[in-house]
Amino acid sequence: MCGIVGTLNRTKQYSIDESQIRAMLSSIRHRGPDQFGVYLFQDDSDGVGLGNARLSIIDLGGGQQPIPNEDGLLWIVFNGEIFNYVELRPELERLGHELATDSDTEVIVHLYEEYGPACVNHMNGQFAFAIWDERDRSLFIARDRVGIRPLYYTEPDGAFLFASEIKALLTDPRVKAELDPVTIDQIFTYWSPLSPRTVFKGINTLPPGHWLLAKSGQPLQIERYWQPEFPVEQLSGKQPEMSVDEAAAELRRLLVDATQIRLRADVPVGAYLSGGLDSSAIAAFIRHYTGNRLETFSIAFTDKAFDESAFQYRMADHLGTDHHLITASHHDIGEAFPDVVWHTETPITRTSPVPLYLLSRLVRETDFKVVLTGEGSDEFLGGYNIFKENKIRRFWAKNPESTLRPALLTKLYPYIGGLGQSNAYLEKFFGHDLTNTADPYYSHAIRWRNTSRAKRVFSAEFQGSLAGREVARPYLPPDFANWSSMAQAQYLEITVFMAEYLLSSQGDRVGMAHSVEGRFPFLDYRVIEFSNQLPPQYKMMGIDEKHILKRAVSDLLPPEIWNRPKRPYRAPIHHSFFPDNQPLSWVSETLSPASISAAGVFNPNAVSSLVNKINRIGQLSETDDMTLAGVLSTQLVYNQFIADFRTPLPLNNNDDVKVVIRGNQHIN
């Protein structure tokens, strides 16, 4: 895993500055501290600079970037892994390509040489890469199908800049950070931005499953090459092509292979154990289908409402792993929150990334660079309670006067305070717009409405900047209306929540903060595409979530693991910022009226009322908790990236830097 950066002069003449590329790399050295690479090209009409910060995992001795093709006319910088590079290499050699290294990076540049932009369809991996073609002076950039690895870009003053993290872009003096009210409004609705927006004006993300082509004097060309697809809803009575047992066997076969190829590395690979079904299944595949040494890592909480360590120890004992555990207290979470926001580079409405940040530090301290985890199972196999909620509400909507049907909701959210208090409360909360089942966003409307209540703390000026503007709705593909209601809910969860929050703020960023790469067998595109074609009832039989996965792995796991009710990973919020009802020092400073007023997003009086509620009753509702996290993280984004952003010193001669200079003009 690595970090990549680059700049292309498109409409104005600038000499390419090596020190600027070095500064960009210095800002993301946590992503790849092992080696660095710089490629510089300048001629009469074009100039480009590329950079790579390398975390050495495959071909430790020969994989330093940038890497060219045979004739030196294509050059690549790459962040990620191509897991099927072992199979792709002999295919390329049969086509006449000559590969000089054993790295997966070099495979990409030859795939591009052979297939052009269609190269992405041949890759099974997690990636963001940039290839400069000296022949036609083009820069090709691509991001993996579901957005496991990040890529950001901006176009200041006739240039095109890209990087794995936004902070690298901000090192260029032409780029100025400014909060985008529209994106903040989206975050306080959907829990995350809608791509391609970021919280900073003029800085975009390349959406998952897209590629980009940049040339001097031409507008950017951005194309979608992949998106989640589901079958048109089957006619009533039509039998599935596979029985549930046949489908479970095929799912297991695909998952085993996805796990095996994700163990390809020249360094040790560990696994996370959350105590739930997904991570336990991955660890069991490693134990039973490979000869790899297995070390596992888990998070425990001093707050027993969030702790699952008993299940983690049970699974570690069952598999006989060398198990490592870190225990997070309220204070630990609160103190680490500013560092996590620095790495996520966006407001977040929960603290869940913080324990994972602490866990990745433990992984690195144990001398591991790579871990396998269970992300993606809930989204693609129907594990979340929001899918159950959608199913129950639609069932209730067929008989809205029923008093029994809404009672089915009582068991869905026992971990959220304020829900399940009484049937009358549930009927009011979940009954809003109950019969509007034709709404394409029906499955998530309750969640988004509830989250939007946090906007009451926006300042009048900030609300004025949004006046007359409706919050944008997530993109829906043409066939969306013809999918099952389960598929529709899955699509929204995958493209809004998973891509922009789970795999970013709670995935890539907190792992790479400590130079730890996460790998996700459930996000193998073959597993995804197979899962998407399964009948909805195989994923959720009645309201039994991930039914097919339980069938696929139950013989490998203890019953108390595979048969336990789904419990989503969560972390304490207000107790972490106000342990023992007293604010941490940075929290007091960040929530002070002067600090709130300086950023201009929130109303100081409304924020003070929220703080007073903690002082008065020592407890917050789920919505207030999310509001508090959102306010604090937004303030931190403003403070860290706008009010007090500091450009790091460029890489120096003590760093292991490979520099390649091409072209016929002087380069600074």
Contact 223, 211 (CB under 8 A): yes
Pull the structure tokens for residue 355.
């324990």
CB atoms within 10 A of CB 646: 10
Encoded amino acid at 643, one letter? A
CB atoms within 10 A of CB 243: 11
List the beta bridge partners of residue 324.
Answer: 297
Out of 2, 146, 248, 336, pick the active-site residue.
2
Of 70, 106, 100, nearest in space to 88 by CA? 106
Contact 442, 485 (CB under 8 A): yes
**Residues near 282 by beta carbon (within 8 Å), at least 6 away in sequence:** 255, 259, 271, 372, 373, 374, 521, 522
- Whether 119 is a known active-site residue: answer no
The kind and range of the H/E element at 241 are none
**Residues near 517 by beta carbon (within 8 Å), at least 6 away in sequence:** 1, 55, 57, 81, 369, 370, 371, 511
Of 61, 121, 116, 60, nearest in space to 88 by CA? 121
Pull the structure tokens for residue 277.
């079904």
Residue 243: which region, alpha, beta or left (left: phi > 0; alpha: psi -120 to 50)? beta
The angle at the Cα of 38, spanning 43 to 16, to the nearest 5 degrees, equals 35
Pull the structure tokens for residue 208.
């998952």
For the residues of 78-121, what is the DSSP string, one character each? EEEEETTHHHHHHHHHHTT----SS-HHHHHHHHHHHHGGGGGG
SS3 content of the chain, % helix, strand, coil (to 5): 45, 15, 40
Of 212, 69, 29, nearest in space to 652 by CA? 29
**Residues near 97 by beta carbon (within 8 Å), at least 6 away in sequence:** 69, 70, 110, 113, 114
521 CA to centre of own chain: 15
Determine the Cα–Cα distance for residues 390 and 104; give it in Å rounded to an integer: 42
Task: Give the end-to-end CA distance of the chain in Å, rounded to a whole number.
Answer: 29
Determine the Cα–Cα distance for residues 358 and 336; give it in Å rounded to an integer: 8
Of 358, 354, 344, 351, nearest in space to 629 by CA? 351
Q: What are phi and psi of 90, to 5 degrees?
A: -65, -30
Pull the structure tokens for residue 573.
């919020």
Strands (E), 329-477: 370-372
Contact 270, 371 (CB under 8 A): yes
- C-alpha count within 13 angstroms, C-beta hemisphere, residue 367: 2
Catalytic residue IDs: 2
